[in-house]
Amino acid sequence: MPREVAELVVAAQGGDREAFDELVRTTYADTYTLALRLTGNEEDARDVVQEAYLRAFRGLRRFRGDARFSTWMYRITANCAATHLGKRTKHRHEVLEDSDPIPDERPSSDPQAQSDASELRARLTAALQTLPPKLRHVVVLRDIYDLPHEAIAAELGISETAAKVRLHRARKKLREDLFPPRVEEAADAV
């Protein structure tokens, strides 16, 4: 844990409100990034990040410091995002899937274009948004934020087996979105 954050945590645990505010200022962009990746839109991300810091504030005394503060915040944010999206009766991605499919602008036979990391990342970001939230949560927390299966399962309220199954489905879907079979391959498969 960077010393500055560690010191702020200790001060905030001792009841220093200013220290907690400073902790928020130092970490909120990172927390917001995760919230945005999990929820897929700014409005939900804003709600999730507010709730996450509120929970962190209330539970700060329980933070033992054996993990990084950022990891602790990721877990709280993941939990808040799951709760927040669970309350929704209709998910935004369903609308997006119907009306706004990701355009496949990749020249299918150009390997150079495929190896362009920044282009791949841009398409990956778009593909993540089309995943159902349940799959997106798991793959974002595991493959971007490197949380262990156990922690992901605990924060999302599912079993580890379910987390692993969702991770596999999400990865498969992402791979298929980013590398769709070429026309002749698809024809061969039929």
Partner 1 sequence: MRCDDLSETLAAAADGTTLLGRAERRHVERCLRCQAEMVQYRKVLRAMRAMRTEVLEPAPGVLADILANLEAAGERRAIRSMISGHKAAYLGGLAAATAAGAAGAIVFATRARKLRAAS
Query: Which residue ranges make up the site for partner 1 (CB under 8 A)?
Result: 17, 20-21, 24-25, 28-30, 32-33, 36-37, 42, 45-46, 49-50, 53-54, 57-58, 114, 117, 120-121, 124-125, 139, 143-146, 168, 171-172, 174-175, 178-179
Nearer to partner 1 among residue 4 and residue 146 (C-beta): 146
Q: Residue 91 in contact with residue 136, Cβ under 8 Å?
A: no
Residue number with CB closer to partner 1 (30 or 97): 30
Q: Which of 112, 144, 138, 131 is nearest to 176 (CA)?
A: 131
CB of 135 to partner 1, least distance (A): 13
CB of 84 to partner 1, least distance (A): 14
Q: How far is the CB of 3 from partner 1 (least distance, A)?
A: 20
CB atoms within 10 A of CB 180: 13
Nearer CB in complex with partner 1: 27/96: 27
CB of 36 to partner 1, least distance (A): 6
For partner 1, the closer CB: 94 or 146: 146
* Sign of the alpha-carbon torsion through 174, 177, 181, 187: positive
Provide CB contacts within 8 A for 35, sequence distance 6+. Answer: 44, 45, 46, 48, 49, 52, 77, 80, 81
Other beta carbons within 10 Å of 124: 15
